[in-house]
């Protein structure tokens, strides 16, 4: 991963990182114009951040980074770094090193210093930093918010789901002196993750979408999820605005934590909400059509540019963040109808050969997003035979078996004729759906599912693919999107 960054000197970066420059003769005044964590993206002017991961150690690539002409490397293993410089030799041996105890934490400190400096430079013109969190809908809301704000001025937002302790700092470092809006997505796998992220990027506006069952294994209970997500509201600047889902009692309760203004939204049309949708209907393409009510503007009938009734809430959250960032309501109502999906594997609808339809919602899954996705299947499938592919939902903790069983019931309720499951953890879904009359095919992994797909589908089927990223549902979706269905049984390359 990598990003552009406005020119900073190595001295500045070392100071923000709270690191030590090695060797002393390094060209510390050299400007750095990119920050990367992927050695393959390193080049002249880059700062390479050497991260120790579960499968790779960035320190192993330092010699290649030095030979590629990187300006500096952020490292925690000084001995390995010195050895790499010696191996690189020549000009590469002059690459500066910034030595810290933890490179990921130091990356966050660099991003924090960079953002604070940009805010000082922005002055009265202002730089609005907005973010969202929730168990469902973060990336879709991020995409919508980016589009609403980009229509008003230069906007930076994450690629895909750069929402953790590495992706968020890299996104912050994309901002420069021209940036008017910075949109951030904040995810959490543990209790303190969002608290750490708002320390890097204090917020002008923060939205809480829904408190659900994502990553339950890391929190212990849904109350634990709510506490972790609440740090995004606690991380607001004193003048900041909280944008809260009034339809979710745990999100709505965070009003008490807000330092100032609160905007509430309701996809169910609750009249107490500042932003709400009424008269919601799905058209023939399963796009929501609704009367959108915003503060300062009369209701307007709008057709959303993305499918699924659940996206009404995401659209309202995006509208709330844009209002909090200072955009006028009439401009937002003009823009929201044309805003659509930007990130892959999120309710992406495409045609399959033979008149079929692929509904690719395979980026990730918990029981809340599974419920929303399956609720959209009847409208999206129309008169087609309905096929559902579910891979195991990961990190659910003690609720895993029950949640998968619920998913099986939802598959049957959506009128599926066939369910294909991937992974042993999805067995309760298979069992429940089979008992309710659905034909079921169980596969051990994505490779087996891909191999069997051609014999399971018929031309004209509607196929919904849903599951956790780590269990491989997205690979099945990519396989189908490449045209490998019942009319073409040849194996294709993994699109990733």
Known binding residues for ATP: 134-140
Q: What are phi and psi of 248, to 5 degrees?
A: -115, 115
Residue 292: strand, helix, or coil? strand
Q: Report whether 390 contacts 376 (CB < 8 A).
A: no
| Residue 433 near residue 419 (C-beta atoms within 8 A) | yes
**Contact 14/21 with Cβ under 8 angstroms?**
yes
DSSP three-state, residue 211? coil
Distance from the first to the final alpha carbon of the chain: 15
* Rounded Cα distance, 156 and 60, in Å: 31
Q: How far apart are CA 319 and CA 306, in angstroms?
A: 15
User: In whole angstroms, what is the distance from residue 490 CA to residue 131 CA?
Assistant: 43
Residues constituting the chain: 496
Interhelix angle for 103-122 vs 10-17, to 10°? 110
CB of 42 closer than 8 Å to CB of 58? no
Tokens of 101: 């105890």
Is the separation of the CB atoms in 201 and 115 below 8 Å? yes
Binding-site residues: 134-140
Q: Name the nearest CA neighbour of 108 among 97, 100, 119.
A: 100
Give me 495's structure tokens.
């699109």
Instruction: Count Cα neighbours of 240 within 13 Å in the Cβ-side half-sphere.
Output: 27
């Amino acid at each position: 991963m990598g990003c552009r960054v406005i020119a900073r000197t190595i001295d500045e970066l070392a100071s923000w990182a709270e690191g030590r420059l090695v060797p002393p003769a390094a060209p510390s005044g050299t400007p750095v114009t990119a920050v990367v964590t992927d050695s393959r993206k390193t080049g002249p002017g880059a700062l390479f951040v050497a991260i120790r991961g579960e499968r790779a150690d960035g320190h192993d690539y330092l010699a290649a980074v030095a030979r590629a002409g990187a300006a500096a490397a952020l490292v925690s293993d000084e001995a390995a770094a010195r050895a790499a410089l010696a191996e690189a030799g020549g000009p590469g041996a002059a690459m500066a090193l910034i030595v810290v105890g933890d490179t990921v934490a130091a990356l966050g400190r660099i991003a924090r210093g960079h953002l604070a400096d940009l805010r000082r430079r922005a002055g009265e013109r202002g730089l609005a930093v907005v973010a969202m969190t929730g168990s469902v809908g973060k990336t879709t809301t991020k995409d919508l918010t980016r589009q609403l704000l980009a229509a008003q001025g230069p906007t930076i937002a994450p690629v895909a789901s750069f929402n953790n302790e590495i992706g968020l700092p890299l996104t912050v470092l994309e901002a420069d002196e021209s940036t008017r809006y910075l949109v951030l997505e904040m995810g959490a796998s543990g209790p303190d993750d969002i608290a750490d992220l708002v320390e890097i990027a204090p917020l002008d506006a923060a939205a809480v979408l829904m408190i659900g069952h994502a990553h339950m294994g890391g929190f212990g209970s849904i109350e634990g999820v709510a506490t972790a997500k609440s740090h995004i509201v606690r991380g607001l600047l004193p003048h900041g605005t909280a944008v809260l889902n009034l339809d979710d009692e745990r999100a709505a309760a965070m009003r008490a934590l807000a330092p100032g203004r609160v905007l509430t939204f309701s996809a169910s049309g609750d009249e107490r909400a500042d932003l709400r949708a009424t008269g919601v209907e799905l058209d023939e393409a399963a796009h929501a059509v609704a009367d959108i009510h915003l503060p300062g503007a009369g209701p307007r009938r709008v057709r959303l540019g993305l499918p699924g009734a659940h996206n009404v809430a995401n659209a309202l959250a995006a509208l709330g963040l844009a209002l909090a960032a200072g955009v006028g309501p009439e401009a937002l109502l003009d823009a929201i109808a044309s805003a659509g999906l930007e990130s892959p594997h999120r309710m992406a609808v495409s045609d399959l050969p033979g008149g079929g339809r692929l509904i690719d919602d395979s980026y990730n899954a918990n029981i809340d997003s599974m419920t929303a996705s399956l609720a959209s299947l009847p409208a999206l499938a129309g008169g087609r035979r309905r096929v559902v592919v579910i891979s195991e939902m990961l990190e659910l903790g003690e609720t895993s078996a029950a949640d998968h069983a619920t998913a099986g019931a939802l598959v049957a309720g959506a009128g599926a004729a066939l369910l294909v499951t991937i992974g042993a953890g999805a067995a309760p879904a298979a069992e429940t759906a089979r008992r309710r009359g659905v034909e079921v095919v169980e596969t051990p992994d994505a490779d087996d599912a891909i191999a069997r797909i051609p014999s399971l589908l018929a031309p004209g089927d509607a196929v919904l693919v849903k599951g956790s990223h780590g269990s491989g549902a997205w690979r099945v979706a990519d396989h189908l999107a490449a045209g490998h269905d019942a009319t073409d049984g040849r194996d294709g390359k993994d699109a990733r």
